[in-house]
Chains A and B, each alone.
Chain A
Amino acid sequence: MSVYMVSEKDAKKLKPSLMAGLIFVLGIVAVLIGQISLNMVLTQDAYQLRSLTIEKRNLATDVQIIQEEVSSLSSPQNLADAANMLGMVANPASVMIDIDNDKIFGEPAPARADGSEVASANLVANSALGTVSEFSMATVASGELEVSVETANLASSGLVLQSGLIPASPTR
């Protein structure tokens, strides 16, 4: 190892330039800024990911709520109760019409609310029923309903079947 003694003048010449120092410092600053920017972008992405995950989870919850409502409304128990509330009565006396041979199979009979082997109201338990069909005066004109049921009964009592033939429509 050698050590050299230089004059003051020469020492001044050997002094590092300001420009080089500035470039060095600026370089370091630039690297730091770059690092911070990258970090910010990554962090921002992470927050966005988290926000989207939460949104997805909330939407999935909304879907579940709606699906449960639909399941409840479309369950046979709700449909049976709703039909019953509307005054509908199950009619076990179904009648088949053979169009080709102009024949009717079965005895047409008006549905009765009592004494039928086919229950009209729901008898099958379902504790999962949440949202059920509701009928108010706004959705069902009960007065008109009664009239229409009565009219239907009158019409059916006036139906006369002759030797199993399909009755001709009065409009034909």
Chain B
Amino acid sequence: MGTHAKLSRRLGAFAVFLFLMVAVLGFRLVDFQVVRAAEIQEQSLETRKITQTMSSLRGDILDSSGQVLAKTVFRYDVNVAPKRVGPVFQTIDGVRTERSVDEIAMDLSQLLGIDYGELILKLEGDSEYSNLAKTVNAEIFNAIRDMNVPWVFFDQFEDRLYPMGAVAGNVLGFVGSDGTPLAGLERQYNTCLAGIDGQETYERSAEGVRIPSSNRTAQPTENGGALNLTIDANLQFFAQQVLADTVNNLSAEWASAIVLDVETGKILAAAEAPTVDPNDPAAVEGADRGSRIFQAAFEPGSIMKALSAAMVLDTGTADEFDTVTAPDRMQLDFDNEYIKDSFSHEDFTLSLAGVLRYSSNTGMTNFASQIDRKVRHDYLQKFGFGSVSPLMFEGESSGILHPVAEWDEMTNLVTTFGQGISVTSLQMAYAYQAIANGGVRLDPLLVESCLNEDGTVAYAPTQHATRVVSTASANLDLELMEKVVEFGGVGKTAAIPGYRVAGKTGTAELKDGSGYGEEYAISFYGIAPAEDPKFVVGITIYKPEGVSNSSKATPPFKAIMQQALKHYRIPPSTTESRSVPSNKYGEVDEND
């Protein structure tokens, strides 16, 4: 075989080998680039892709003027890696300095308020994690971060801050340490307040550096909405101050004050004492962490008489001049039962205004018992008793209004002056709002709206109006209630100079087993200015020590109503009240 032939054969073999190699590589190329392209690309992306969750912020809760009642802030847990603890070298102004572990520990113990010896123990060991302090604020976090200690690291988390503390704490509710809403509006309106966490992916290079423009938002972060309340934080604080003082002075179990805007049904203040500071709910008893205005039902007693009087007028059973005989004790013709007034007196001849002025149980019974019990029951329902309000506040009580078929003879009579029925402070306030608003009861409002982050309305409550009594009856009832404040023994102390005030006292004996004991719930519910009502203020003081009449309920009423009138710049009344028969002889009082 010649050299040429040998060379040609080798070259031929090489060409075949080359062709095979190209074929194999081509095959692999097609396999990688076409057949398994998507799969390989995905595998590659998996190694580069980082997915991170972007926490959404829980929305604020604001009062009627935009003051923040609840907001989300960041808090920090401060941790160290004991394994890496050592002196820190820093170059300040070109000078390399060393900070010893002791020096750093001293600074940390001062910033965190931890005993130095205790802190040093936490720095010892061979682990990668040791917690130094939990829930430190941003100021301390900043100070520690600025120390630039490489073995100190932080866990950031969201926390709820209530800048005004216990102001409206009873209605705001609170959240748990993990951010779960546990009570009040925080829980009821969680759908509005809670945001939706976002998810973002990005790619990073082999060196671990984030590749710009590789960001992909899988789920956009949606922060929670802002919950706007009808509560006026300034008035609420004032009312809570007054109630705290009242509860202290009277050693009462609790007290509540509600302020309603007559024309809108908005709750401007729902104050209680004692109450909860949502920043630290564990500081008070469990019973004080809710809102008694919505949740506690009690027998209202004589404050109910103003509503019974409205029924008497609306049904045409009597007018302002009609009178009844009102003995201090009235024997009933069944079961040897009797009804008596709160004080001994000769037989009075009382008009409806007189019944309110003297708060006569017998007089009210004689007027209102002329109305069919079914009709009265219907009125009570229209006033809003026996059912929860449209607010649906969590744990809200419906009170107790028995079906009329279950009313025995005694219940039929005593409901006219507020026994045999239980109500919440809220229910009584909006029943008075109906009288103040020309007989039309408006659904109470506590939440004005929930606004999304972009300002669009996510939720706004719908409000219904219910006509309970005629405008004429309501207005006349208001005039009768004015006589309580003008001439009533206790009622007079609720008078506010410059304003016409209508109201009614209530001293409800509290049930003690099967009968009534020596403890009371005292109340005053009032409306001002009577000629053009703007506010209803309802005060209830539960179990004040050694108090058996409502004289202690009028000073807080007066203070809060006066503050509301002043705060909202309501001009003083320019008219006098009309003369209406109200004395014990069924005549116009000589001073009227």
Residue ranges of A at the interface with B (Cβ–Cβ < 8 Å): 1, 3, 42-43, 45-47, 49-50, 58, 61-62, 64-65, 68, 71-72, 75-77, 80, 92, 94-96, 98, 105-107, 117-119, 122-130
B556 at the interface (CB under 8 A from A): yes
A47 to B566, CA, bound (A): 59
Per-residue CB contact flags for chain B residues 230-253 toward chain A (1 = under 8 Å, else 0) read 000110011011101110100000
Residues A105 and B277 in contact in the complex (CB < 8 Å), given A76-B164, A98-B572, A124-B166: no
Max count, chain B CB within 10 A of own CB: residue among A45, A125, A128, A130 = A125
- A71-B161, A92-B558 known; 15 new pairs, CB 8 Å cut-off, are A43-B209, A49-B212, A65-B138, A65-B139, A68-B139, A71-B163, A72-B163, A76-B164, A105-B572, A119-B241, A123-B245, A124-B240, A128-B277, A128-B279, A129-B165
Residues B210 and A49 in contact, CB atoms below 8 Å apart: yes
A71 to B62, CA, bound (A): 13
Closest to A69 in B: B139
Q: List 9 A-B contacts (CB under 8 A).
A: A62-B142, A64-B73, A68-B139, A68-B163, A80-B237, A117-B245, A117-B558, A118-B242, A127-B283
Residues A124 and B556 in contact in the complex (CB < 8 Å), given A46-B211, A49-B210, A105-B497: no
Closest to A95 in B: B497
A127 to B209, CA, bound (A): 43
Please give the number of chain B residues whose Cβ is less than 8 angstroms from any Cβ of chain A in the complex.
54
A126 to B279, CA, bound (A): 7
Residues A128 and B163 in contact, CB atoms below 8 Å apart: yes
B150 at the interface (CB under 8 A from A): no
B417 at the interface (CB under 8 A from A): no
A77 to B283, CA, bound (A): 18
Chain B residues whose CB sits within 8 angstroms of the CB of A49 once the complex forms: 210, 212
Chain B residues whose CB sits within 8 angstroms of the CB of A126 once the complex forms: 164-167, 277, 279
A-B contact count (CB 8 A): 131
Chain B residues whose CB sits within 8 angstroms of the CB of A118 once the complex forms: 238, 241-242, 245, 559
Per-residue CB contact flags for chain B residues 252-268 toward chain A (1 = under 8 Å, else 0) read 00000000000000000
A43 to B7, CA, bound (A): 54
Minimum Cβ distance to chain B for residue A63 (Å)? 9
Minimum Cβ distance to chain B for residue A167 (Å)? 17
Report the stretch among B8-16, B78-86, B108-116 that lies at the interface.
B8-16
Residues B165 and A127 in contact, CB atoms below 8 Å apart: yes
Which chain B residues in 157-193 approach chain A with CB under 8 Å?
A: 161-167
Residues A1 and B244 in contact in the complex (CB < 8 Å), given A42-B212, A105-B572: no
Chain A residues whose CB sits within 8 angstroms of the CB of B571 once the complex forms: 96
A71 to B210, CA, bound (A): 38
Residues A125 and B142 in contact, CB atoms below 8 Å apart: no
Closest to B566 in A: A94
Closest to B276 in A: A125
B87 at the interface (CB under 8 A from A): no
Chain B residues whose CB sits within 8 angstroms of the CB of A127 once the complex forms: 165, 277, 279-280, 283
A107 to B248, CA, bound (A): 27
Minimum Cβ distance to chain B for residue A90 (Å)? 8
Chain A residues whose CB sits within 8 angstroms of the CB of B280 once the complex forms: 125, 127
From B7, B74, B555, A117 is in contact (CB under 8 Å) with: B555
Closest 7 CB pairs of A and B: A126-B165, A105-B498, A71-B163, A106-B497, A123-B244, A76-B237, A125-B277
Residues B241 and A68 in contact, CB atoms below 8 Å apart: no
Chain A residues whose CB sits within 8 angstroms of the CB of B68 once the complex forms: 71
B137 at the interface (CB under 8 A from A): yes
A68 to B68, CA, bound (A): 11
Which chain B residues in 551-565 approach chain A with CB under 8 Å?
A: 555-556, 558-559, 562
